[in-house]
Amino acid sequence: MKFVKLFEEVGTGDVALVGGKNASLGEMIRNLREKGVSVPSGFAITADAYKYVIEKAGIREKIRDTLADLDTHDMENLAMRGSKIREMVRNAPCPEDLKEEIRSAYRAMERRYGENVDVAVRSSATAEDLPTASFAGQQETYLNVRGEEELLVKVMECFASLFTNRAISYRVDKGFDHLNVYLSVGVQKMVRSDLSSAGVLFSIDTESGFKDAVYITGAYGLGENVVQGTVNPDQFYVFKPRLKEGFRPIVEKRLGSKKKKLIYKGTEAGTEQKDVKKEEQRRFVLSDDEVLALAKWACIIEDHYGMPMDIEWAKDGITNELFIVQARPETVHSQKDFAGIETYVLGEEGKLLVQGEAVGHKIGVGEVNVIESPSDIQKFKPGQVLVTTMTDPDWEPIMKVAGAIVTNRGGRTCHAAIISRELGIPCVIGTDNGTEVLKGVKEVTVDCSEGMGRIYEGKLKYRVDKIVFDDLPRPCTLIMMNAGVPENAFVQGQIPNDGVGLAREEFIINSYIGIHPLALIEYEQLRKRAEEDEKIASVIKEIDERSASYADKVQFFIDNLAMGIGKIGAGFYPNDVIVRLSDFKTNEYANLIGGHLYEPEESNPMLGWRGASRYYDEKFKPAFGLECKAIKKVREEMGLTNVKVMVPFCRTPEEGRKVIKTMEEFGLKQGEEGLEVYVMCEIPSNVILADEFADVFDGFSIGSNDLTQLTLGLDRDSDLVAHLFDERNEAVKRLVKHVIDAAHKHEPRRKIGICGQAPSDFPEFAEFLVECGIDSISLNPDAIISTRLNVAEVEKRIGKCI
């Protein structure tokens, strides 16, 4: 055939002939099927066919003339010229010999799959899916096309879509000559994901550029809803290095609302939207095994192409098989220079109006412009904050001049997210009601700097800190990081560091779970009591809402704590990540859902039932068991053996032994698979009996906040004595020096670091620690670089490590 090529006949060397999309499909079918990657078959109508249509119709010069005085910043001018050219191409006669080739290829598919076979008809331009420019969604795609005549119509529609307004604008921005870009059309057997699910996956984290994670999104029905941002999809992260070694490292699962699904229109060709039942919304669209299978395919595809990839997947609802339906190079983070990092920091507080998912890590400010339809985009002015339900490629002419973007719907692989990343514009997606809340608001600040997308009223001050990694000295003292929320782990892990000296479990429990563990353990008993007690009924309702995707409420706690810890463990792998076991005080535990049912009231919770004293207490021991099982899952199932544990507020060596014994009862055995157990040094007894604590634990981490509080005998939460709180007090410093010496003199020598606030706040305190010979200093992320430089200077001055 002259104008048609089977996918099996083309590969990456044929982009000029069949476009990026079709070349990639052929490449995978030819090379990756034998490695287990399933790709539906089909054929490509070549770029030569497009040229043939244009030449036979004699409209090439007419197209050139129509574009001669184009102004892509004049929306009406752009729309008028685009419409005129599309009409020209659409009405051009399709030559009979080309028609016959297309019919013949379609009949061959009918012989393979059955009469009137359903196909996807996708545009594939010769300048698309390049490593430097995605051209995402610039041309049209048609799903569930049936029959020869309908196919011929859609092929001509695809040819015409080379001149959509957004495609014209995008080519101008990227410097491509309109008449030197041609269009091929892919005709591919449909995957019946209308009866199951589909989505998008990346072999790199789309937000941070972290290269060791696969990011998967999915929703019910055909994948266009995920691509276009019509729904808020489920999200999954898988850690690649340990996946390749046979582990099951799913480090995040987040349930999306998935309110709509795109399905076949009855027995007709075409598609329609349908509401998703509430009970289906509360279920993940993929099982863990399917998530891992897709992640493995992502690794195979990435390894084959030698670059991060943007991939579309679909699950057939009839056969339950998974398929890859597209793959293209990722175009944002794969092009970035990682020699430094920019950190945006909000400088003042403001009134929170609405929030959603953050795209990128920037902050943007501007005047609000709520636009519901692309037909009104001429009303948009450069620098304004675009607020809309969702975007598609028709919005791109104004997206590129926006100060920030806010959408009601969409996930982090939707159109708005992809284009915002490519343009470097802060974007908050999936707010649900952003267009309603922000209507009438004059100015806003769009903050994506902290992992969650937040929109504040007014223009708030912010700053941009630039950290350059070039020529950073590497001191002998380990410079570790205090990790807060798991959402930031992939970004923070790329700042030069030696691991995590403190990851607080309570942060993860608060944000990922929010429920008292005993309420989950006793869920069934509480449900029975709920029939007669309104307060308990309210607790059950909240538990059900938060853990909707889990029938087993205990497993909900274990899985979500494990994923929070696992994401931090993955972000800093293979460096040590020291996870401090839960250190809620009774009043803090009481604030969790159901907490008031289990927590006593204490006059001074800071000095009460907290830390180690809880773990072996029969009243709390089952809850502590869930923490142990979560860490066991992280280390054994996910393979993240770089995760170590730390026991807080351990008052006596004997208490330490009880904790070690209790951990072993729940499957966490000190020393097994390299498991180290540290103790917080934050009570004077930890210092005075340091040699005895060193017999129990593998190392110490000085908690300077509590150690200062208990040394000086003051409540650090009290404003009345706050002026006396100072870690640099001589009494505190003497205790610090004493415990460092004791740890190093012990046989065997014990590691000792510090994870308190002092070294982050006071450079001179960091100098003091280095002079004492401390092994590691764990700091807040914003203090890492400056402290590293400071410590290197001190080491040079005192001759350490020379």
Contact between residue 2 and residue 101 where contact means Cβ atoms under 8 Å apart: yes
Cis peptide before 622 (omega within 30 of 0): no
CA-to-CA distance for 292 and 239, rounded, in angstroms? 10
Encoding tokens for residue 30?
């030819």
Encoding tokens for residue 619?
């009243």
Write phi, then psi, for 261 (nearest 5 degrees): -140, 140
Encoding tokens for residue 449?
């700097």
- Please give the distance of CA 264 from its chain centroid, rounded to a whole number: 31
**Residue 427 annotated in active site:** no
Length of the chain: 802
**Residue 414 annotated in active site:** no
Tally Cβ neighbours within 10 Å of residue 761. Answer: 15
* Reduced DSSP (H G I as helix, E B as strand, rest coil) percent helix, strand, coil of the chain, to 5: 45, 20, 35
CA-to-CA distance for 2 and 186, rounded, in angstroms? 15
HEC readout, 245-256: CCCCCEEEEECC
67, containing H or E segment: none
Strands 385-388 and 363-370: parallel
DSSP for 88-128 reads: HHHTSPPPHHHHHHHHHHHHHHHHHH-TT--EEEEEEESS-
Contact between residue 772 and residue 740 where contact means Cβ atoms under 8 Å apart: yes
Where are the extended beta strands (E) located within 267-398? 271-275, 309-315, 322-329, 340-346, 352-359, 363-370, 385-388
Q: Select from 264, 239, 21 the least CA-distant residue to 129.
A: 21
CA-to-CA distance for 636 and 639, rounded, in angstroms? 5
Write phi, then psi, for 24 (nearest 5 degrees): -70, -40
Contact between residue 519 and residue 598 where contact means Cβ atoms under 8 Å apart: yes
Cis peptide before 748 (omega within 30 of 0): yes
Residue type, 649: F
Catalytic residue among 415, 448, 650, 681: 415
Q: Select from 743, 780, 773, 738 the least CA-distant residue to 758.
A: 780
**Residue 268 burial by CB count (10 A; 0-12/13-18/19+): exposed, middle or buried?**
exposed
Contact between residue 44 and residue 184 where contact means Cβ atoms under 8 Å apart: yes
140, containing H or E segment: none
- Please give the distance of CA 606 from its chain centroid, rounded to a whole number: 35
CA-to-CA distance for 212 and 640, rounded, in angstroms? 13
DSSP 5: E
Encoding tokens for residue 613?
């004293």
Q: Select from 138, 222, 225 the least CA-distant residue to 410.
A: 225
Contact between residue 197 and residue 294 where contact means Cβ atoms under 8 Å apart: no
CA-to-CA distance for 49 and 609, rounded, in angstroms? 77
DSSP 510: I
Contacts (Cβ under 8 Å, ≥6 apart) of 675: 635, 641, 644, 645, 668, 669
Contacts (Cβ under 8 Å, ≥6 apart) of 759: 704, 765, 766, 769, 777, 778, 779, 783, 787
Give the active site residues. 415, 755
